[in-house]
Structure 1
Amino acid sequence: MKTRYDLIVVGGGVLGTFHAYHALKKGLKVAVIEKDKMPKSATIQNFGQVVPSGMDSKWQAYGRESLLIYKEIQSQFDISIRQNGSVYLASNDEEVQLIEELAEINKGNDYQSNLLTKEECLSKYQGLRSDYVKAGLFFPDEVTVEPRTMIYRLQEYMQQFLGLELITNTAIVNCENTDAGVTVESAANETFLAKKVIICNGSEFKTLYPDLFFKSDIEVSKLQMLQTKPQANYKLDSSILTGLSIRRYEAFYECPSFKAIKSKEDADSLEKKWGVHILFKQAMDGSVILGDSHQYATAANSDDLGFNLDMDIDNFMIQEAKKIIDLPTYEIQNRWFGTYSQCKTKDVFEHTVGDNIHIITGIGGKGMTGSAGFSKENITKIFNV
């Protein structure tokens, strides 16, 4: 007899894993099927910031729920969560105006943020350049994660304490609704049975439903990031988001002055061309992660983004970072790019095949911040419990 699950999740990244987490919390029998030995795509290639502050009001709510979930799990099992807050550093009067407006918006949302003077920023953040910063907006409740650690520890926690069955090195090649639920078949001719299936992996979405995939409004973003060598006698408190982040993140779209300020920007600048905004985060080994850039292609043309790092982008990011923080060293020990899929017209791609196969992907850059909260609501909706 084959094991029958209440839910099979195809794809072991953060979005799929948190759908499994919330189903397990409801007492359901759940398996996550991952095509590789371990998740190795967007979830482990991202920057590792959980920043509800950067999202619009709808997704801020999901992100704030995610914060609670992360912290609850961390209190029981180390999944690399560190609550050191996030700060947005304004570099000119326009950006100061935007952070002041966002602070007012967050008062209405009952989400704590603290405006910092230039002097407070310089005192709090070692190496921050006086000729860059004008003011800051600090969110004390926000956390960082170690992307290359968190998802594996989370799945280990779920296996030990919640009864998750994690099935790896198993590529799914067929998924069909039946009278009894869903039959799932692997490339090795294994058959799995479930009441419901959630597909959260873009690769297997493409394999299983190519016509639907290519007709979707999914696009792929390529992001370049860098990691310095460990910094000697240096500590960077908080995740650092800078003026270009203030000009890019969706939370600021809701500020009254945003459109007028954006209209003045140079459309031909390199930061526009490469989608660059400068972020800093100190990793547990003392190194500093720098990023990031954004280049886009439709899902059908994602290979056009190339498979190499563009050193002009890396060099530009380092050049801009040096204008913001004087680190002991900008010697780089690691460079990489990540890719994630997102929808052009929707927050996330959702499509149901028949009654019991749910495709949920394309969450974009909201994955690490929003997945835990979004998945909680989604599991309740899918199972009606």
Structure 2
Amino acid sequence: MKTHFDLIVVGGGIMGTFHAYHAAKRNKSVLLLEKDNFPVGATVRNFGQVVPSGLAGRWFTYGKRSLELYHDLQSKTDLTIRKNGSVYIASDADEWQVANELYDHYVRIGYPCELLSRETCLAKYPYLRNEYPVGAIFFPEEVTVDSPLLMQRFLAYCATQTGVTYLNNATVINCESTNGKAQVTLTNRQQFEAEHVLICNGHEFRMLYPDLFAQSGLVVSKLQMLQTIPFPAIAMKGNILTGLTIRRYESFQQCPSYASLTTPPHLEELKKWGIHILFKQALDGSIVVGDSHEYAGAQNVDDLGYHLSDYINQLMIDEAKRIVSFPVEKIQTSWAGFYSQTTDEIYERQIDDRIRIITGIGGKGMTSSGGYSEETIASIF
């Protein structure tokens, strides 16, 4: 096996894999290293939606580009990408006002969207309870994915079709520049060198640079998600986002009326736990429901625990039952996901002219990594 590459990427999640993909497309030799048998972090524990509509600023631009990349990849290999759109369903007059303002914004910049009346919502999404929708904003270009399966297939595509050398069960224990090259060492003492190294392994970079990690200011978010039994009779197309999402996502926060939003009493406890209700139907007909958010400094991530709170799960189930009419309480599994984030949008740290850490993208990874990593690779090569 060769030991010298143009680029080594540490971390086989969506962020690391897209960096490897874009470098390989530029005919660079790439080694992608994943510490586990298969990525098990934020990449495969997320909701499985690509929704630029929820982002603002440069991240919206990266998200739009990522949509193009996903569609191009899907035309070459099945990555589970389904273009069924995203809908944000407003549940009261305040949310509906903000949704209308966001619609005006996206019409101005030419991002496809449409407003749906209450009647259209109930016709298009017949599993909604009659009393929930006031109206909705719909984004037809956005996509749904099944994240674990997408990563399996994306990694396989990169390894077989783009020339990326992929090694799993390959934990990096040292990374340094020496003799004009960047060198990484694995637990089995195997060594590789490259012109450049990108470290995209979430808050696990603490293993390599503990002092930098201690000063990083990274925060870890713990999410809880639920998955129902399969409902073959339900045809839930696309990403179904609700009023709580309108109250949370950054794209809505740029709207004029957002600052005057008040929290109704029945949503106070949900807001306390960072809950906003989303629905997505998996390939087997089950419905993924989520999610909640608890936070801790990355140095104190163990404070969040790895347990699941039945109380939080029940809050989500109760709110979901207020929105949809199918038996959402028929849960077959639930899990916790963890992702790192920072107040500076993303954590980028240049160790030297050959080694760079990129992490802390927060909940934007599945939506924005494609466009963001393309820009990063262009700046390197």
Shorter-chain TM-score: what band? Answer: over 0.9
- Bigger Cα displacement from structure 2, 68-77 vs 53-62: 53-62
- TM-superposed CA distance for 1:160, in Å, is 1.4
- Is the Cα–Cα contact under 8 Å of residues 202 and 339 in structure 2 kept in the other structure? no
8 Å contact 1:41–1:338 — kept in the other structure?
yes
| 2-structure distance, mates of 1:167, 1:352 | 24
- Residue 380 (structure 1) aligned with residue 358 (structure 2): no
Q: 5 Å matches for 1:56-71?
A: 56-71=56-71
- Give the one of 359, 368, 371 matched to 1:370: 368
For residue 236 of structure 1, report the CA deviation from its aligned partner. Answer: 1.0
Structure 1 residue aligned with 2:13: 13
1:1-385 maps to which residues of 2 (within 5 A)? 2-262=2-262, 269-328=268-327, 330-343=329-342, 345-383=343-381
Per-residue CA shift, 1:297-340, capped at 9, x if unaligned?
00011100011000000001000000001115531001101000
8 Å Cα contact 1:80-1:146 kept in structure 2: yes
Partner deviation per Cα, 1:63-113 (whole Å, 9 max, x = no partner): 010000000000010011010100000000001101100001101221011
Q: Equivalents in 1 of 2:92, 2:264: separation in Å?
A: 13
Q: Higher mean Cα deviation, 322-331 or 249-258? A: 322-331
User: Does structure 2 conserve the Cα–Cα contact (< 8 Å) formed by 1:232 and 1:328?
Assistant: no
SS of the equivalent of 1:323 reads helix
CA distance in 1, matches of 2:203, 2:362: 14
**1:234/1:328 contact within 8 Å kept:** no
Deviation at 1:203, TM superposition (A): 4.7
Q: List gaps (5 residues or longer) in structure 2.
A: none
1:220-247 deviation line (CA, Å, top 9, x unaligned): 0000000000014111122100000000
Aligned 8 A contact 1:201 1:361 in 2: yes
Q: How many residues align?
A: 381
Secondary structure at the aligned position of 2:348 is classed as strand
% same residue: 50
Assess, with a 3 A threshold, how the Cα gap between structure 1 residues 172 and 281 changes in structure 2: closer, same or farther: same
> Offset at 1:214?
1.1
Q: TM-score, normalised by structure 1?
A: 0.97
CA RMSD of aligned residues (A): 1.4
Q: Give, in angstroms, the shift of residue 268 of structure 1.
A: 8.8
CA contact (8 A) 2:14 2:369 kept: yes
Offset at 1:161? 1.0
Runs of 4+ in 1 over 2 A off after TM superposition: 264-268
Q: Are 1:88 and 1:241, in contact at CA under 8 Å, matched by a contact in 2?
A: yes
Mapped contact 2:225–2:291 kept (Cα < 8 A): yes
